[in-house]
Structure 1
Amino acid sequence: MSSFLLVVPPLVGHITPLVAVADELAARGHRVAWSGEPSLVRALAGPEAEVHPALGPPLGADQGLGLRGYAAARFLWEDFLVPLAEATHESVADAAKRVDADLLVCDMQALAGPLAGARLGIPWVTSASTSGSLRDPFTATPQVRRWLDDLFAGLIARCCPRPAVALTPATLERSPLLVLAFTTEALAGPAEPSGAPTAWVGPALRQPGAGPDDQFPWAWLDPAAALVVVSLGTVNAPVGARFLRACVDALGQLRGAQAAIADPSGALTAVPDNVLVRPRLPMLPLLSHAAAVVCHAGHNTVCEALAHDVPLVVAPIRDDQPIVAQQVVDAGAGIRLHFGRATADLVAAAVVDVLGRARYRKAAEAVGASLRTAGGAGAAADHVEAVVREAGRRR
């Protein structure tokens, strides 16, 4: 059996897709270890997960929530991800040696993984936790592309000056061996012809019951009502209160509908009887009952909804979310709103449209079929096992 080290940043949405893959690899008899922030990884992967600490500087990605465009990209890379890689690449390398790793599975934003792999001569694959990373978002802005490449080149020069395996800005960003895409071409569109080898595995969802226990009041659900699930993910609470309030006001007035809203910051009070507010929602079980989802176009939420044939109303906030939101619209599976300008009336109109027009449900079903047949965690495990076998033959 083989030994795998999963390298992840301290971001829930980037850890979640690999949790089911870790479960699958462990079930096949492999050793699976993590390099990341221990409390966060264990909260998602389970208290028994083997985690080797890789702790970055005390800066959270949520601090850039108010930024847009180039300012947001500059914050993400210059102030968060590159310093994180510099602070953790030694820890990742030490973890790889301790577990005698045959392969590193590195989230696309955990740049310490490729740095450690190239330095030690250990192969790595890229986990693309969002389809926004499968195409170069800076194709139309070559100056920004050069800025990012220069940033990557400087990181490589500082942290991996004498690699055992050649490392370039392109291979730092995407492994030349394999990119695990937790989506399908039905949603993301075809791969770039000159890109790295891509495995379209769809969302890697954990089996029911694998996550923590939840006290959701299932008896509250009315089978005769259309359930609308509302979530803005885990790091958007500081900017989400106004939008969530608009959703409460919008959905409270819809006859024949219920709404379950995730409100981790406790911003919502005095909600109508057909609206249920909880700090967190058991998303996967709840989606089996849902008729529509309102969200920020986070990749995990979008793919989870579509895998359950549920159409969406998407209001992207930042980062890759506008790209994913446009993919939803292009697939015909939902409606896009402007996050900062979404009023209760606009939210209500979009939800009514998505619920009332069969074309949105049919498009969601078409994308959902592709996501369900892509193979998920099992397919991802097959692909990384194949990379290890090929690397062994080469050695």
Structure 2
Amino acid sequence: MSGFLFVVPPLVGHINPAVGVAAELGARGHRVAWVCPDAGLVRRLAGAEAAVYPCAGAADGERPADLRGAEALRFLWEWFLLPLADEMAPGVRAAVADFHPDVVVADQQAFAGALVAERLGLPWATSATTSAEFGGAYDGIPKVAGWLRDRLAELRGRIGDPAGSADPRFSPHLTLAFTTPELAGPTDRPAVRHVGPSISARPAADGFPWEWLDPSRDRVLVSLGTANADAGGRFLAECVSALRDRADRVQALVADPGGTLPPAADDKDLLIRPTLPQLPLLERVDAVVCHAGHNTVCEALWHGVPLVVAPIRDDQPVIAGQVVDAGAGIRVRFGRVTAAKLGAALDTVLYEPAHRAAAARIRIAFRAAGGAPVAATHLETLAAEESR
């Protein structure tokens, strides 16, 4: 049996797709361990028995709510991704020395995993929790693309093999893409394997009032993810207004982790909670309004649910474009949308069949791709090839 070391940032959306793959490998008898700055978070998502090596590093620092575009990207790299790689690298090296993995599985934004593996001569695979860069998202912005290359070259000089040349975001051995071309479009990057979403069981949602759901009305789930609580107040308020106007035919569930909305106690039309059990709810809702985060989009489409997407920053505009190009949803402007425009978009995805049909097509493709079991098989193949 082989050993697989998963290197992940302390972000739920980046750990969740790896959880199912790690569980599948463990069920097949392989050794599995993790490296993450937040061991408690990994154990909460992957199970209390998960073997997690400690390392330094902090979660994504708060960014100004109005930061967008290239400025937001620069902030993400300079204040989170690059420092995180430097901080994680000693812990990754220590974990490799103790665990002796056959393959390092590095999240696409946990550069330390890829570069430390490169320096130590270990095969590594990329866990790509977003497909935004597969199609050359920055090709049309050469200054941005050049700036990113320069920063990665400097990082390689500090923690990787100075003679190396592989982009640490894309393993030359294996890149696991948790999507399919039906959503993401084709890619000419080598070694990419489209495995579809890795959907695995999550901790039970104790205390959720399932009896609140009204089977006589359509249901809409609204979520901006846990990382956008600081930016979502105005947008969520517009959502609530649009949904209130449709209360005769729509029930709404709104995730509000930042507490920006007034509570809606004993309200039969609107349920506001800091967190919602997203996966089981997606089995029961008719549309999703979200920020075009890759995980939320793919989980919705895994269930064949059409979307209204309002990208905020980072990879979200690219993912929103994929949703629109695939016909599975409508894009609105996060910073300027009104209740009227949002309501019109909701009416379209709820009551016109084209978007639901497109979401159903992607659902079929996602499930045919195989998810975590197929990803685990690709990793087994890599380990076997490298051991010859």
Alignment match of 1:197 (pick from 191, 202, 211):
191
Conserved in 1, the CA contact under 8 Å of 2:198 and 2:372? yes
In 2 relative to 1, CA 354–40 (structure 1 residues): closer, same or farther, beyond 3 Å?
A: same
Equivalence for 1:269: 262
Deviation track 1:155-184 (CA, whole Å, cap 9, x = no partner) reads 11122356xxx522x432210011100000
Equivalence for 1:318: 313
In 2 relative to 1, CA 270–49 (structure 1 residues): closer, same or farther, beyond 3 Å?
A: closer
Conserved in 2, the CA contact under 8 Å of 1:65 and 1:318? no
TM-score (norm 1): 0.94
| Structure 1 CA distance for aligned equivalents of residues 245 and 268 of structure 2 | 10
Report the count of equivalent residues.
Answer: 384
Q: Displacement, 1:30?
A: 1.1
Conserved in 1, the CA contact under 8 Å of 2:61 and 2:79? no
Alignment match of 1:246 (pick from 233, 238, 255):
238
Conserved in 1, the CA contact under 8 Å of 2:11 and 2:59? no
| Structure 2 CA distance for aligned equivalents of residues 299 and 66 of structure 1 | 21
| Structure 2 CA distance for aligned equivalents of residues 50 and 9 of structure 1 | 16
TM-score (norm 2): 0.96
Alignment match of 1:384 (pick from 362, 379, 382):
379
Conserved in 2, the CA contact under 8 Å of 1:307 and 1:367? yes
Correspondence 1:236 to 2:232? no
Conserved in 2, the CA contact under 8 Å of 1:62 and 1:236? no
Q: Displacement, 1:310?
A: 0.5
Alignment match of 1:308 (pick from 292, 303, 308):
303
Conserved in 1, the CA contact under 8 Å of 2:253 and 2:272? yes
| Structure 2 CA distance for aligned equivalents of residues 341 and 239 of structure 1 | 13
Equivalence for 1:327: 322
Q: Percent identity?
A: 52
- Partner SS for 1:173: coil
Conserved in 2, the CA contact under 8 Å of 1:21 and 1:380? yes
1:335-354 pair list within 5 angstroms: 335-354=330-349
Deviation track 1:61-95 (CA, whole Å, cap 9, x = no partner) reads 44254321221121111221111111111210110
Over the residues paired in the alignment, what is the CA RMSD in angstroms?
A: 1.4
- Partner SS for 2:171: coil
1:59-70 pair list within 5 angstroms: 60-63=60-63, 65-70=65-70
| Structure 2 CA distance for aligned equivalents of residues 213 and 276 of structure 1 | 15
Amino acid at match of 1:87: E
1:63-212 pair list within 5 angstroms: 63=63, 65-161=65-161, 167-168=164-165, 170-192=166-188, 195-207=189-201, 210-212=202-204
In 2 relative to 1, CA 315–117 (structure 1 residues): closer, same or farther, beyond 3 Å?
A: same
In 2 relative to 1, CA 18–270 (structure 1 residues): closer, same or farther, beyond 3 Å?
A: closer
Q: Displacement, 1:27?
A: 0.8
In 2 relative to 1, CA 213–270 (structure 1 residues): closer, same or farther, beyond 3 Å?
A: closer
| Structure 2 CA distance for aligned equivalents of residues 292 and 284 of structure 1 | 13
Conserved in 2, the CA contact under 8 Å of 1:292 and 1:310? yes
Equivalence for 2:12: 12
Equivalence for 1:290: 285
- Partner SS for 2:381: helix
Gaps of 5+ in 1: none
Amino acid at match of 1:227: R
